[in-house]
Amino acid sequence: METTHQIIFENSNSMADISSDSVDLVVTSPPYPMIGMWDEMFSAQNRKIHEALNNHNGSRAFELMHRELDAVWNEVRRILKKGGFVCINIGDATRTLNGNFALYPNHSRIMTHMLRTGFTALPEILWRKQTNAPNKFMGSGMLPAGAYVTLEHEFILIFRKGGKREFKKNTEKTERRRSSYFWEERNVWFSDIWTDLKGISQNLSESKIRKRSAAFPFEVPYRLINMLSVKGDTVLDPFLGIGTTTFAAMAACRNSVGYELESGFRDLIFSGADKIVPYSDERISKRIASHLDFVKERFKAKGGFKHINNNYNFPVVTQQEKDLIFNELISVIRNDKNVIETTYSDSPQDKFCIDEKDCSEMQIANQISPQKKENISTQLRLLE
């Protein structure tokens, strides 16, 4: 299997290189309106934003910044296939202008525009970005009627263009089954509040472009891509930053396109891509190791499994996980036109066993697989 990853250093308010109805999934995090680090970038796009900020007119600056984003969301609507999803990671902003402290509700402004554009809103995810910063409690401390609640969460707004995606052809159905995730991953990934994500260092000390990358953790696009697309699909990020969505698409066996205004991020994106082979292996190994831990616990608690995965011969909870397979990323080659080509193995690999103990458990499952995998009591005895 092969995928391609294209990086385009242009404004995504016009994605002329992408044909209409051609992208399966959009995963992105725009610059957050009314967060100070983006003032300059928004002002460069529309001088009136600079004036509104200078005049301390928060609501006008907020609205004008969102109009810049609206143009990108309109393009997203054009290029997305029917049945495709859009995931927008966004945080609200707080700011004091002219002595007035206020919340600028970015998530609800984006939601309103997306609904007007004709997208269907779906249940969203809130991810908790807990901080220990001493200044996280805002306002007048312990004195009533003057303190404000902390801002320690971000939203992942989820939309769909039109109705449910259909998988009609046999090849489409097969790829969908090969792209399945574990039952226990489903239980976490499809819960509305994510509390297990760790923030990442955003320090860009050597960059002349800005001090902080504003990157989201790899896990955010990696989960969303696995949840809402299948292998071989195309994922777009219209606000690519240092390339996290591209790396996640590479690891998950999807094609990708990323738009980024700052061409100065080129080296950072390509050096990140060079590291993705071992990183992707590590993430897959962790998923398998966590699954084996889950298997051991569930054997103890519930006493067995009804299904065995056809590729790895380990037990799985549901029929839908039987064809699940991880494709090992083998090579990442950059050609000179801002396109990266990646190749994958098509067969399950022994090396994804984490350590000897886990490997031997997989061997045990291997031994039972030829003798009709449904023998729960045999599994129980062997894994005790």
Phi, psi of 245 (to 5 degrees): -65, -40
Least separation in angstroms between CB 172 and ligand SAM: 29
CA torsion sign for 363, 227, 229, 225 is negative
Q: How many residues bind ligand SAM (CB under 6 A)?
A: 20
Q: State both tokens at 41.
A: 């970038």
User: Which letter, b or e, does each residue of 342-380 get, where b requires 16 or more Cβ atoms within 10 Å of its Cβ?
Assistant: bebeeebeeebbbeeebeebbebbeebeeeebeeeebbe
- 72: contact with ligand SAM by CB under 6 A: yes
Q: Partners of 128 in the beta sheet?
A: 153
- Going along 67-198, which residue ranges are E strands? 80-90, 93-97, 100-104, 120-128, 138-139, 147-148, 153-160, 193-194
The residue range among 109-117, 132-140, 256-264, 356-364 that interacts with ligand SAM, by the rule CB under 6 A, is 256-264
Among 219, 260, 328, 358, binds ligand SAM (CB under 6 A): 260
Give the C-alpha separation, 226 to 223, whole Å. Answer: 5
Q: Length of the chain, please? A: 384
> How large is the greatest C-alpha to C-alpha distance in the chain, in angstroms?
76
Least separation in angstroms between CB 31 and ligand SAM: 5
Window 184-203: contact mask with ligand SAM (x via CB under 6 A): --------------------
The residue range among 151-159, 171-179, 234-242, 358-366 that interacts with ligand SAM, by the rule CB under 6 A, is 234-242
The residue range among 107-115, 164-172, 255-263, 280-288 that interacts with ligand SAM, by the rule CB under 6 A, is 255-263
Report the Cα–Cα distance between both ends of the chain, in Å, rounded: 38
* H-helix or E-strand spanning residue 214: none
Position with the least CB separation from ligand SAM: 241
- 242: contact with ligand SAM by CB under 6 A: yes
Q: Name every residue whose Cβ is closer than 8 Å to that of residue 194 and which is 6 or more positions away in sequence.
A: 125, 126, 127, 128, 188
The residue range among 55-63, 214-222, 276-284, 305-313 that interacts with ligand SAM, by the rule CB under 6 A, is 214-222
Among 226, 234, 244, 280, binds ligand SAM (CB under 6 A): 244
Residues 119-178 that bind ligand SAM (CB under 6 A): none
- 180: contact with ligand SAM by CB under 6 A: no
Least separation in angstroms between CB 99 and ligand SAM: 29
Other CB atoms within 10 Å distance of the CB of residue 124: 16
- 33: contact with ligand SAM by CB under 6 A: no
Q: Which residues bind ligand SAM (CB under 6 A)?
A: 11-13, 29-31, 41, 72, 213-216, 239, 241-242, 244, 259-262
